[in-house]
Amino acid sequence: MIRRIVLLFIAVAVFFASATHAALDADAIGKIAAAKATASPDGVVRITFPRSEVNVTVDGTSLKPFAGLTAWAAFTPSDAGAMMMGDTVVFEDEVAPAMDAAFAAGLEVTALHNHFLFDEPKVFFMHIGGEGKPEELAGAVKQVWDAIKAVRAAAPAPAKVFPGGAPEVGVITPDPLEAIIGAKATAQDGMVKFTIGRDGTMHGTKIGASMGLTTWAVFTGSDSSAVVDGDVIMVASEVQTVLRSLRKAGIYVVALHNHMIGESPAFYFVHFWGKGPARELANGLKDVFNAQKSVGTKEMKEH
């Protein structure tokens, strides 16, 4: 009997707590976002941006926006006014502008990955989120979508390479980069690689760098003209800081996802690609690593 009373009390409390959230104005959100808005019975407002301006084929099949090529953002009432989450369809040359616009508008980027194989041109999906006043969130989503539209207005066909051309064929000198990064590197075929490990557990078993819990970066090309590719391992509290720091350093974010299920703490991985003089790239990565350390990894301290 007591248990039933307690459960009833909780249910009533949850009901009244949710009832205090003001209903969202779908028309206002749609007007601010310059997109058609619809409201569902549970109070969620949804806006969409069909990517119909670029013809996409997957496995030889021409796909319309209805088949998974529509960007969207959904808003639900929250204590802050509204919580928004969405999935933005981006072509390769739109990723950096869309991400920069999201950060400038105060949004979070929570994933960047593919949904297809054998797609032409390549399509990626950047998931975004935020919480605050609904009109501000709607304006933030508009900024992201406007950044995408600006890229396509300048060049209707998606680009196939990053700006700047390929690096010179040569050899990377490890010593200056080691001094910047503050770690020893390994060298092979003129390339230089840094590997920095972390520790965790998975299904009760301790795991570390040798099992894939690593941040790594490989420099290819020459000292004056190089590319760097790699992967930063992060816990949840570090993700937004690392992403923002990579973009501040002019380094492209090319994927954001998980590699495992069941690990503790939960780890996320951001893959990156940068172009320029090797020392400049190393200094940029050092700034990223320093910013990551400054966050204070509570998740790691608890495990």
Q: Establish how many alpha carbons lie within 13 A of residue 54's alpha carbon, considering only the half-sphere containing its beta carbon.
A: 28
CB atoms within 10 A of CB 194: 24
Confidence of residue 9 (pLDDT cuts 50, 70, 90): very low
Q: What's the CA angle centered on 196, arms 114 and 290, to 5 degrees?
A: 90
Class of domain 20-154: alpha beta
Please report the pLDDT score of residue 21 as a whole number.
79
What is the side-by-side strand order in the sheet with 205-207?
Answer: 205-207, 200-202, 263-264
Q: What does each C-alpha distance from 201 to 26, 196, 232, 266 come to in angstroms? A: 45, 17, 18, 9
Q: Do domains 20-154 and 174-301 have the same CATH topology?
A: yes
- Rounded average pLDDT over 167-180: 97
Q: pLDDT: is 169 or 296 the higher one? A: 169
pTM of the model: 0.90
Cα–Cα distance for residue pair 225/219, rounded to 1 Å:
10
Summarised one tens digit per residue, pLDDT across range 45-54 is 999 999 999 9
Q: Is the per-residue pLDDT at 169 higher than 80?
A: yes
Asked if 297 and 235 touch (Cβ cutoff 8 Å), the reply is yes
Q: What does each C-alpha distance from 290 to 167, 218, 241, 287 come to in angstroms? A: 27, 18, 10, 5
Cα–Cα distance for residue pair 144/291, rounded to 1 Å:
25
Q: What percent of the chain stands above pLDDT 70?
A: 91
Return the C-alpha torsion angle 26, 29, 33, 36, nearest 10.
Answer: 10
Q: 223, 231, 227, 217: which is closest to 186 by C-alpha?
A: 217
Q: Is the per-residue pLDDT at 19 higher than 60?
A: no
Report helix, strand or coil for 235. strand
| CATH of region 174-301, choose from 2.30.29, 1.10.10, 3.30.70, 3.30.460 | 3.30.70
- Rounded average pLDDT over 215-243: 98
Please report the pLDDT score of residue 22 as a whole number.
87
Summarised one tens digit per residue, pLDDT across range 93-144 is 999 999 999 999 999 999 999 999 999 999 999 999 999 999 999 999 999 9
Cα–Cα distance for residue pair 218/176, rounded to 1 Å:
14
Q: What is the DSSP string of 96-155?
A: HHHHHHHHHTT-EEEEEE-S-SSEES-EEEEEEEEEE-HHHHHHHHHHHHHHHHHHHHH-
Q: Whats the size of the chain, residue-wise? A: 303
AA identity, residue 148: I
Q: Is the per-residue pLDDT at 302 higher than 80?
A: no
- Rounded average pLDDT over 18-26: 80
- Rounded average pLDDT over 191-205: 97
Confidence of residue 238 (pLDDT cuts 50, 70, 90): very high
Asked if 225 and 164 touch (Cβ cutoff 8 Å), the reply is no
Give the start-to-end residue ranges of the domains of the chain.
20-154, 174-301
- Rounded average pLDDT over 161-188: 96
